[in-house]
Amino acid sequence: MNPEQRIEELSRQIEHYNFRYYQDSVSEISDFDFDKLLKELKDLEDKHPEFRKSDSPTQRVGGTITKNFETVYHRYPMLSLDNTYNEQELRNFDDRVRRGLDGEAYEYICELKFDGISLSFTYENGVLVRGITRGDGTRGDDITNNVKTIRSLPLRVKGENLPPVFEVRGEGFMPFSSFQKLNEDMDTLGENQYANPRNAASGSFKLQDSAETARRNLDCYLYSFLSDDIIFNSHEESLLALKSWGFNVSPGWRKVQTIDEVIEYIHEWEEKRTTLPLATDGIVIKINSFEQQRELGFTAKSPRWAISFKYKAENKPAILRSVNYQVGRTGAVTPVANLSDVSERDLDYKKVKGVHLSGTRVKRATLHNANEILRLDIRIGDTVFVEKSGEIIPKITGVDTEKRSQYITQAVEFPTKCPECGSELMRNEGEVAFFCPNDSHCPPQLKGRIEHYIHRKAMNLDSLGEGKIELLFDLGLVSTPADLYDLTEEKLLGLEKNIFNEETGKTKKISFREKTVENILKGIELSKTAPFKNVLFGLGIRFVGATVADKLASYFKSIDAIRAASYDELTAVPEIGGRIAMSIESYFSVPENQLLVDRLKAAGVQMESNEKPVELESNVLEGKTFVISGVFENFDRDELKIKIEANGGRILSGVSGKLNFLLAGANMGPSKLEKARKLGVTILSEEEFLGMIG
Ligand code: IVH
C-alpha cells in the first residue's frame, strides 16, 4: 500500500473509532492501540506532508501556531437572546408569540442554556473548513485550528442531502473536570487561575498554540443549523439530522406544546442541571416551526421566536464557624472561612458536613484578603449567605445581620503574625494581601517552593509528590530544592510517615521502599537534563511564570546573565515589564537565593540555555523590532525570523506601539494590517525587507 492510501485508510479507521466513541459511547479499541494508529498517521504525514488533509484526525492533537487570529465576517449574523428571570416574563413572551402568530397553533423546543462561548462552524462539501467565535455578532475570530481539537466535532460529515455549504452553531465549553485540573496547573505554575469554566473555555479557544488547546479537553454542544437551502421544516428535524450526521447535539432537549410545559421543564432541570458535567445557567426556548420563526422575525438584537430563562444562582445561609489563614508559596496569607449548615450550628466542627449547594457540600469559602473581611463586616458565629454561581469557588455574599442579635458573635481578627512561623506580617503599598516576609524559614513557603520546583512544567519530578516532600521536609532532609541533589539511597530507604489530609479527613501512609527510592533518585538525576527555562521557572521567582521564564531564558541564555542584568536591561526584553524586573532584582538580592542557584549549578542542573545562538551576519537591524505575518514567496516564517535575528533585529509577538516593522506576506489578516497602519508601524514587503538587509 502506498503512503497516500495508508494515510487515507488510517484516517478512516481513526474517525470511525472516534465516531463510535463520541456518538454511540462505544470503545471498539483500546486507548493504547488508538494512540498507535494516530502516531502512525502522524509519522506518515510528517514524511509526506503533500498527503496531509485539512480534515486529518491528526489535527485533533494540534500543533499549529496562530500568531494572530484573523477577523472574518459571519455568513449569517450571530444574534443573542433576550433574557427572562421569572414565570411572568416568560408568560409575557408567550403572549407576544401568540399574537404574532395570529392564533395559529405552535410548539416550543426547550433546551438547556450552556455556559460557554458560542461558536460557528462552516462545512463545505462535508468538510469542516472554518470555526469562528461569535465576536460582535457580525465578525468573529477565525479559530479553525483550535476548534479542530474538539474530539466530538466531526471534521468530515457524510449524510444524504447535505447542502454543499452549511453552518452549524453551538456552545464551546470546558467540562468541570478539565477546568479543575487546568486551574490546579495554573496555580502551581504561578499563573492566574480562571474564575469560571466559561472564562477558561474562552481563553483556551484563543490560545496561539493549538497543541495546548488540545490538552485542555474542550468540548462543544451543537444547537443550530443554517444553510441557504431550506432542507428542514423545524428545529426538531434539524437537531435529529445533526445527531444522525454525527454531531454532538445538546442533550436534554424536549418538544412541548404550552408555556406551562415549558415551566415544568424549567423546574425539572433546576436541580438536575447541577449534576451535568458542565456549567449551565438557564434554559432556552425556541419556536419549533421554521416557517413560524420566519413569521415572527427579529428585533435589532435578537429573535422574536426564542428567549432564555436564567436560573438564580443558588444562595443559602450558612454559619461562619471560624477562619483559617493559609500561607502560600509566595508568603501571601489567605483567609479561608470554615462554614457549616445552619442545622449544624451546635455540632462539633469535625462532624460538620457543610451546606448543600448546587450539587455539592460546601465547608469552606475563600475570604480573599483582609479588605474583604472588612467589606463584608463579618463575625464568627454570624449567619452568612453563600453562593455558587458560575464560579466554582463558593463566595460569601453577605451577612444576615438580623440573626446576629440571637447568637454570640465575635470579631474576625486578621492575625498580625504568621500563623505558621510567627513572623510579623507585612503588606506592600498598593497590594491587598498581607504576607509573611520570612521566606527563608517559614515552613509552608519552603515546602511550597520545593513542590513548585518539581512541577511538571518545571523539573517534572513526578517520582516525588506533595506527601513525599512533606515527609522529607519534616525529617529535615530537604528545605530547598538544592537539598534534593544531596539525597542518597542510605538516607531515604525505610523512611515512613502518616500524613493527615485536613480537607478529606483521611490519613495516608507514606513509606520509602527500594523501588520508590530508586525512582526518586533516578528522577532527580534526570532533572539535571531539564532545559534552563524550566529551571528558571522552577526557582519560583514571583511573577516569573512559565511563559516569562521562557522569554527570559531565550533572551539572556544563562542564569548569570539574568542575575547580572540591571532593571533597564531586564525591561528592555520584549514583554518584560517593571513589575517582573523588580521582582527578579529583589530575588537575587537575597543571599539564600544566590546560594540556592550556586548549589543547583554545582549539582549539574542546567543554568544555561542550549538553544543554538543565531550567528550574527550584520547589525543593520539593531534596535529594530519585527512582526512577521502571512505567506512569503522565497522564505518561510522561521527562515525570516532567523534572518532578522542574524542581522540584529528582534521579533515581537504582536502588533503594538513598540513595533517598528510589520513584515507582511500574502493572505494576512486585514485587522492586523489596519492596526499596524493606525499605530504608524512601517509595513514591509518581502522584497523591501531583503533590500534592508542587503
Ligand atoms: S440559541 C439567536 N441555544 O446563549 C440566538 N443559545 O444569548 C441563538 N446558548 O450566544 C442562540 N445554550 O452562546 C442557543 N441551547 C442554546 C444555548 C445558547 C447557550 C448561548 C449562546 C448565545 C447565548 C444567547
Report the CATH number at residue 507. Answer: 1.10.150.20
In the annotated binding site, the residues are: 31-35, 80-81, 111, 134, 171, 286, 310, 418, 421, 436, 442
> Residue 32: exposed, middle, or buried by beta-carbon count in 10 A (0-12, 13-18, 19+)?
exposed
**Do 206 and 276 sit in the same domain of this protein?**
yes
275 versus 154: the higher-pLDDT residue is 154
User: Residue 317: pLDDT above 60?
Assistant: yes
Grid coordinates of 255: 418538544
CATH of the domain at 643: 3.40.50.10190
* Mean pLDDT value of segment 124-134: 94
How much is the pLDDT for 209?
A: 87
How much is the pLDDT for 283?
A: 97
Ligand 1 atom with the smallest distance to the CA of 302 is 2
Q: Please state whether beta strands 314-327 and 395-399 pair in parallel, antiparallel, or not at all (unpaired).
A: unpaired
Q: 125 C-alpha vs ligand 1 centroid, how far in Å?
A: 26
Quote the CA–CA distance of 261 and 681 in Å, as a whole number: 59
Question: Which stretches within 286-380 are classed as H helix?
Answer: 290-296, 370-376
Q: 290 C-alpha vs ligand 1 centroid, how far in Å?
A: 17
CA angle 158, 160, 164 (to 5 degrees): 75
Q: How confident is the model at residue 463 (pLDDT cuts 50, 70, 90)?
A: confident
Ligand 1 contacts (CB < 6 A) are: 79-81, 111, 113-114, 118, 134, 171, 223-224, 250, 284, 303, 306, 308
pLDDT digits (tens, 9 = 90+) for 584-609: 999 999 999 999 999 999 999 999 99
Average pLDDT, the chain: 90
How much is the pLDDT for 103?
A: 86
Residue 202 in domain: yes
Q: Which residue has the cell 521567582?
A: 541
**Do 198 and 280 sit in the same domain of this protein?**
yes
* Mean pLDDT value of segment 420-439: 93
Active site residues: 113
Q: 65 C-alpha vs ligand 1 centroid, how far in Å?
A: 29
Q: How confident is the model at residue 473 (pLDDT cuts 50, 70, 90)?
A: very high
Helices vs strands, H then E, count in the chain:
25, 28
User: Residue 415: pLDDT above 60?
Assistant: yes
Ligand 1 atom with the smallest distance to the CA of 253 is 15
Ligand 1 atom with the smallest distance to the CA of 79 is 2
How much is the pLDDT for 193?
A: 78
Residue 116 in domain: yes
How much is the pLDDT for 472?
A: 94
User: Residue 388: pLDDT above 90?
Assistant: no
Per the structure, how many domains does the chain have? 6
Determine contact, residues 186/179, Cβ cutoff 8 Å: no
Residue 295 in domain: yes
**Do 544 and 511 sit in the same domain of this protein?**
no
Grouping H, G, I as helix, E, B as strand and the rest as coil, residue 226 is strand
Ligand 1 atom with the smallest distance to the CA of 224 is 1
Q: 351 C-alpha vs ligand 1 centroid, how far in Å?
A: 43
pLDDT digits (tens, 9 = 90+) for 156-208: 898 888 899 999 999 999 998 899 889 888 777 666 778 788 989 999 999 98
Ligand 1 atom with the smallest distance to the CA of 81 is 7
Expressed in angstroms, the distance from the first to the final Cα of the chain is 49
**Do 266 and 150 sit in the same domain of this protein?**
yes
Residue 485 in domain: yes
Residues 6+ away with beta carbon under 8 Å from 264: 256
Whose alpha carbon is nearest atom 13 of ligand 1? 118
**CA within 13 Å, CB half, 558:** 8
Mutate to test the pocket of ligand 1, among 308, 309, 310 (most ligand atoms within 8 A of CB): 308
Residue 241 in domain: yes
**Do 136 and 161 sit in the same domain of this protein?**
yes
Grid coordinates of 326: 493559609
Q: At what angle do helices 578-588 and 591-603 cross, to 10 degrees?
A: 80
Q: 397 C-alpha vs ligand 1 centroid, how far in Å?
A: 28
CATH of the domain at 166: 3.30.470.30
User: Residue 383: pLDDT above 80?
Assistant: yes
How much is the pLDDT for 190?
A: 63
In the annotated binding site for Zn(2+), the residues are: 418, 421, 436, 442
Determine contact, residues 83/308, Cβ cutoff 8 Å: yes
Domain extent, residue 673, equals 625-692
Q: Please state whether beta strands 314-327 and 383-388 pair in parallel, antiparallel, or not at all (unpaired).
A: antiparallel
User: Residue 390: pLDDT above 70?
Assistant: no
> Residue 600: exposed, middle, or buried by beta-carbon count in 10 A (0-12, 13-18, 19+)?
buried
Q: How confident is the model at residue 305 (pLDDT cuts 50, 70, 90)?
A: very high
How much is the pLDDT for 238?
A: 96
Which of 293, 326, 333 is closest to 425 using CA atoms?
333
In the annotated binding site for NAD(+), the residues are: 31-35, 80-81, 111, 134, 171, 286, 310
* Mean pLDDT value of segment 101-114: 95
**What type of residue sits at position 591?**
P
Quote the CA–CA distance of 141 and 78 in Å, as a whole number: 13
pLDDT digits (tens, 9 = 90+) for 12-71: 999 888 878 776 777 888 878 888 898 899 899 889 988 888 888 888 877 777 778 898
**Do 373 and 475 sit in the same domain of this protein?**
no
* Mean pLDDT value of segment 517-533: 94
Q: 229 C-alpha vs ligand 1 centroid, how far in Å?
A: 22
**Do 471 and 394 sit in the same domain of this protein?**
no
Torsion of CA 418, 421, 424, 425, to 10 degrees: -40
**What type of residue sits at position 233?**
N
**What percent of the chain stands above pLDDT 90?**
56
pTM value is: 0.63
How much is the pLDDT for 501?
A: 64
Q: 270 C-alpha vs ligand 1 centroid, how far in Å?
A: 18
How much is the pLDDT for 381?
A: 95
How much is the pLDDT for 27?
A: 81
Residue 579 in domain: yes
**Do 507 and 547 sit in the same domain of this protein?**
no
Q: Which of 499, 529, 559 is the last residue of a domain?
A: 529
**Do 522 and 543 sit in the same domain of this protein?**
no
* Mean pLDDT value of segment 318-339: 94
**Do 291 and 391 sit in the same domain of this protein?**
no
How much is the pLDDT for 29?
A: 85
Which of 416, 465, 476 is closest to 441 using CA atoms?
476
Whose alpha carbon is nearest atom 6 of ligand 1? 113
Question: Which stretches within 102-196 are classed as H helix?
Answer: 144-147, 176-188
pLDDT digits (tens, 9 = 90+) for 627-677: 888 878 888 777 888 889 889 888 886 788 888 999 988 777 777 788 888
Residue 127 in domain: yes
- The count of other CB atoms within 10 Å of the CB of residue 602 is 11
User: Residue 391: pLDDT above 70?
Assistant: no
How much is the pLDDT for 479?
A: 95
User: Residue 504: pLDDT above 60?
Assistant: no
User: Residue 393: pLDDT above 80?
Assistant: no
User: Residue 562: pLDDT above 80?
Assistant: yes
**Do 323 and 296 sit in the same domain of this protein?**
no
Ligand 1 atom with the smallest distance to the CA of 303 is 2
Quote the CA–CA distance of 39 and 105 in Å, as a whole number: 55
Beta strand extents in 462-518 (DSSP E only):
496-501, 506-511
Q: CB under 8 Å, gap of 24 or more: what pairs does 374-379 form?
A: 378/320, 378/337, 378/412, 379/320, 379/404, 379/409, 379/410, 379/411, 379/412
CATH of the domain at 399: 2.40.50.140
390-394, 437-441, 519-523: the lowest-pLDDT one:
390-394
Residue 435 in domain: no
CATH of the domain at 29: 1.10.287.610
Grid coordinates of 475: 525529617
Whose alpha carbon is nearest atom 17 of ligand 1? 113
Question: Which stretches within 48-143 are classed as H helix?
Answer: 87-100
Quote the CA–CA distance of 578 and 149 in Å, as a whole number: 37
Q: Which residue has the cell 413560524?
A: 292
**Do 571 and 646 sit in the same domain of this protein?**
no
* Mean pLDDT value of segment 565-573: 91
Mutate to test the pocket of ligand 1, among 76, 223, 236 (most ligand atoms within 8 A of CB): 223
* Mean pLDDT value of segment 311-335: 92
Mutate to test the pocket of ligand 1, among 171, 219, 307 (most ligand atoms within 8 A of CB): 171
Q: 391 C-alpha vs ligand 1 centroid, how far in Å?
A: 20
